[in-house]
Structure 1
Amino acid sequence: MWTTNNDENVSEGNNNDESVLEGLQPHPNLKSIEIEGFRGTKFPSWTMRMEVFLDGRGWLKLDKLIDVFFSNCKNCEEIPMFGLLPLLKYLTLDGLTNAQSIGPSFYGGQETRVMFPALERLIIRNMPNLTEWAEAEVIPVAETQTCREQVFPSLEVLIIKNCQKLNTAPSHFPCLKKLEIDTMDSDLPLTKILSSSDLTSLEDLSINNISTLTCLPHLKGFQKYLRKLSIEYCDKLRELSDDLQSFQSLESLRISSCESLQSISYQSGQKGPPSLLDLVIGNCSELSCLQSEMIESIRCLEYLTVFGCDHLISFPVDLGNLPCISRLHIYICPELRSLPKGIGRLSNLTQLSIGRFSESIDFNSFEAALDGIQQSKSLLQLNLYGLEHWDLFPYQLQHLTSLHKLALSDFGIEALPEWFRVLSSLERLCLYELKKLRHMPSKEAMQCLTKLEYLNVFQCPLLEEKYSEERGPDSEWSKISHIPHIVGVAP
């Protein structure tokens, strides 16, 4: 492991890092190497060639290397030759900010028929000037040998992050299972990688902050195998695949902070991925509706989350048709006027967050949408978002004696009701932005909550004022002083 003293008083051109590292040739049996903070403009010769010179034995390859980690070598422009290392499994290039190209020499030239034969994980990140990642120069040695057999034959994980200027990438990753591309101006590298006919094993695809991405690239080569798809912060993304049903193995779909996305499915009657367990749609401000046919067709769906969709007007889904739902979170959709149906028929529900919808929704409609949950014995966590002109809680709440965690936000209630005493399983109580709240339940009622260990009061100004001013055995503080952990208020 090499690290350097990052003394800001030492100029970049006036340090001896190059000569020192040149003289630190490792033993040829070295298995792991980490170079961090190297300030030279070029790596030493033994590093570039991955060979060391021993008297009487000449040049010997570092062919026992398994793990290579280069970090914050900010002045180096050339990338060493790694492709010839027969045992290399893990390679990380991080913070080589001056490097502009990963060229043919990266692969080791044409000295071998197989390049990176054992590499399983490759991470390239924080290289803001990198514009090119070239294909390997492959000359087949037989009619039956292809790039598939010669380049990255074992690579399973590829992560490219914070390489904003990169505009090209290789296209031969025959065993790739996980691909993560994060923070890039051009969508061309993503398109190039995904367009390969070799890419048939991909299971996990994460796309984050690709500035020019307007639609998903061709995904048909691995639709049968993809298990996890995450798309976040792609501001220009307008549409997803036109055939979600063909993703037969997809278990998790997360779409977040894609501000131009208007629809999850733009074909009427289209069905969803049949194996989907987890669906998250968040902070997609232009999304106006959800197709009931698509969501209701996913009979095995267990987790459904929809939040922060500012223009979502309608939620026509009958959740009662999704019997496996155990976690349901639908909140902070300020234009939503049509409430979801069937919540009370979800017999496996353990977590529920709901509310902060259009102010045109009246309390009775909100309460009716929750009808049936009062009979639930499985519900453990409940987050309710109300409106400031609602001075009641839904009646169902007083019957949820199995609740472990309860969070209440935005209601206009002035005092928590005495029936809180029946919530005998409650362990955590959170009160958020209850602007009119002045009183907790009586001391006797609060002491009935024998399992309550945590109380959080946030932006409840009238209640907080009473706690700060009142003292004595009959004060508001005396009602809660027995709770072990209290956040937000103090006597």
Structure 2
Amino acid sequence: MVPLRKILPIQKIDSVVVVAYVVGKDNDIAEIKKKILTKREDIDLCTIPIVGIGGLGKTTVAKRIFNDEQIEKHFEKRVRLCLPEMLEIKSFLELILKSLTERKLEVQSRDIIIKKLRDELAGRNEESLPNLVKLKLSGSKRCKEIPTHGELKFLRHLELVGFHKLECIGPALYGVEISNIGSSNIFQVFPSLKELVLEDISSLIEWKGVEVGVRMFPGLERLQITDCPFLKSILNQFEILRQLNIRGVDSEMPLLNLCNNLTSLIYLYVSNVKKLTCLPDEMLRKNVSLQDIWISGCGEFRELPQSLYNLHSLKRLQIDLPIGMLDQCRSLEFLMVDCCNNLVSFPLHVWEMPSLLHLCISQCPNLISVPEVGLHRLTRLWGLKIYPFSEIVDFDAFQIIFNGIQRLLSIHDLAVYGRGHWDSLPYQIIQLSNLREITIADFGIKAPPPRLDNLTSLERLSLVGCKRLQHLNFSDAMPKLRHLWISDYPLLEALSDGLNILVSLEDLYLQNYKKTRASAIPSCHTTPH
């Protein structure tokens, strides 16, 4: 059967033209050159047809323009093709790419050909950078695609920053295509990459993978996604990912996408994910080696899943949100609860955390229910920082928190913040004989407590924001005190001569004293600041 219309063979015509034989076309050539050379920057494609009956010199005019000296200087790359009457778009693109690269092309899809053609026209040639180890692409605000880099065998660190028009990351970046699903060949994309950073890609919606016959990022250990607010989906083919940092992504879906195959995670940092209400339970169940979890600025966050309690390797949990109970986190060493404006209850079962070294509860203005007993059970506790809670929690209730702490021999660093109308300190803290550093802040005391001499191991004392402080008497012995910091005490007029008794004092820092005269500061062996 004869086809209705045959594809005509490509006509082989060279681009050489003898200028002396061209007559009467100068005005036409000048006008076309002007249009080409003055094209606006916002126009990506400019097509100028030259039409007329055969023999008028259309081809001659095109040759003259192609070989013009100004055109050669203006365009780094030029391609001239003579096409048949009918030609598939893919074949047309193949001809252009072959002309540019002067190499025979393997069978590839139209999308891959377009991608390679764009890279070639932009002067991006993978083969010229075979040993590249670290690459950062930044500031391409109008670029809608990323050059192909997946075949860089030795690339270990890749950063993509500021691609504001980029909406999708996919096969074009990887530079591979599987045309035969049944093929036994396995391709590796970014085979040596260890760290990948996606930052400030404000239009990114989707990050696609390749489903069949490709190992995606087989060696990736650290992934950071920052300020990609519209990102909804992400590939889940990371085999040995150890550290995940997601910040400034509105949707919780990228985290959920990762749940299916991720099993190697050790460090998880999540910040400003607006829609996140709960850490994916499946992620915590599969990543039993998690040691460090940090959650911050997730306004919709409500709870932690039950699987958190079985993370026996967890050593550090820092969260700005209600965290619930932490039973059975027996390896936890650092716990910080900070800036939880809506946190009301904090049922801390400290006896289930025998490894805890540092505990901080700060800036939780609505916190009412606090642990009443148990701090003395933290036999390894080194540092403790406690702020006041809700205003309805009075001093007596606040003081209960410290019950039994005097029996805690491990604690060396203590910071206690009070309220301006509390005129005394919790009595228990004056009995910590092993304490080396103490910060007393925002209390309404008029003088340091008289039993300060019990702190015989104290090396650093800070009195901050105690605005009613009027007297300082250091007649009691603190033989090891080396650093004394006193700040923001508007009513204090003079320092006691008892400073001379502090035989080990090396540094004295005085700040924001309105009434204290320089002559009222006794001369001694200290180093004033």
TM value normalised by structure 1: 0.69
Q: Which amino acid aligns with 2:272?
A: N
Asked if the contact 2:315/2:333 (under 8 Å) is kept, the reply is no
- The higher radius of gyration belongs to 2
Report if aligned partners of 1:420, 1:441 keep a CA contact under 8 Å in 2.
no
Does residue 81 in structure 1 map to residue 151 in structure 2?
Answer: no
- 1:207 equivalent to 2:265? Answer no
The change in CA–CA distance for 1:156 and 1:347 in structure 2 (over 3 A counts) is closer
Alpha-carbon shift at residue 455 of structure 1 (Å): 0.8
AA matched with 2:315: E
Contact 2:318 2:337 in 1 (8 A): no
Displacement of 1:162 in angstroms is: 1.1
Q: Is the 8 A contact 1:49 1:80 kept in 2?
A: no
Change (3 A) 1:452 1:421: farther
Whether the 8 Å CA contact 2:314–2:332 is kept in 1: the answer is no
| Contact residue 387 and residue 416 of structure 2 kept, 8 A | yes
Q: 1:393 to 1:83 in 2, by over 3 A?
A: same
Whole-Å separation in 1 of the counterparts to 2:299 and 2:259: 22
> Quick check: 1:299–1:322 contact (8 Å CA) kept in 2?
yes
Unaligned runs of 5+ residues in structure 2 are 1-39, 43-72, 78-117, 179-185, 496-512
1:90/1:120 contact within 8 Å kept: yes
Contact 1:423 1:449 in 2 (8 A): no
1:343 equivalent to 2:375? Answer yes
Please state how far the C-alpha of 1:209 moved relative to its aligned partner: 1.3
Does residue 1:399 correspond to 2:462, yes or no? no
Give the alignment's Cα RMSD to 1 decimal.
Answer: 3.4
Helix, strand or coil at the partner of 2:416: strand
Match of 1:333 among 334, 353, 364: 364
1:452 aligns with 2:482: yes
Residue 388 (structure 1) shift: 2.9
Compute the displacement of 1:157 (Å): 1.5
1:199 alignment partner, SS class = coil
CA distance in 1, matches of 2:269, 2:146: 26
Letter paired with 1:452? R
Q: Deviations over 1:119-150 (max 9, x none)?
A: 221111122122332323x554xxxxxx4xx2
Distance (Å, rounded) in 1 between the aligned partners of 2:352 and 2:416? 23
Aligned to 1:239: 303
SS of residue in 1 equivalent to 2:124: helix
Question: Quick one: which of 159, 162, 167 aligns to 1:92?
Answer: 159
Count of aligned pairs: 393
In the aligned structure 1, how far is the partner of 2:333 from the partner of 2:456?
Answer: 27
Letter in 2 for 1:114: Q
Aligned-pair identity in percent equals 35
CA drift at 1:183: 0.6
Deviates more, 1:302-311 or 1:411-420: 302-311
Q: Against the structure 1 CA distance between its residues 164 and 465, is the aligned structure 2 distance closer, same or farther, given a 3 Å change threshold?
A: farther
Deviations 1:404-430, CA, capped at 9 Å, x for gaps: 221112222111234434534333322
2:307, 2:169 → 1: CA distance?
36
- Aligned pair in 2 of structure 1 residues 335, 212: CA closer, same or farther (>3 Å)? closer
Q: CA deviation at 1:47?
A: 5.3
How many Å separate the matches in 2 of 1:420 and 1:313?
A: 34
Counterpart residue identity of residue 84, structure 1: E
CA 1:427–1:318: 2 relative to 1, 3 Å: same
**2:88: which partner in 1?**
none
Matching residue within 172, 175, 186 for 2:251: 186
Read off the aligned partner of 2:193 and give its amino acid letter: L
Q: Does 1:160 align with 2:189?
A: no
- What is the one-letter code of the residue matched to 2:195? R
Larger helix percent: 2
Structure number having the greater strand percentage: 1
In structure 2, give the amino acid aligned to 1:79: I
State whether residues 491 and 514 of structure 2, in contact with CA within 8 Å, keep that contact through their aligned partners in structure 1: no
Aligned-partner residue type, residue 406 of structure 1: I
| Aligned equivalents of 1:113, 1:65: Cα separation in 2 | 19
**Paired AA for residue 233 in structure 1:** G
Cα separation, 1, equivalents of 2:277 and 2:365: 26
Match for residue 442 of structure 2?
410
Q: CA-to-partner distance for each residue in 1:168-188, whole Å, 9 max, x for gaps?
A: 322211222222211112333
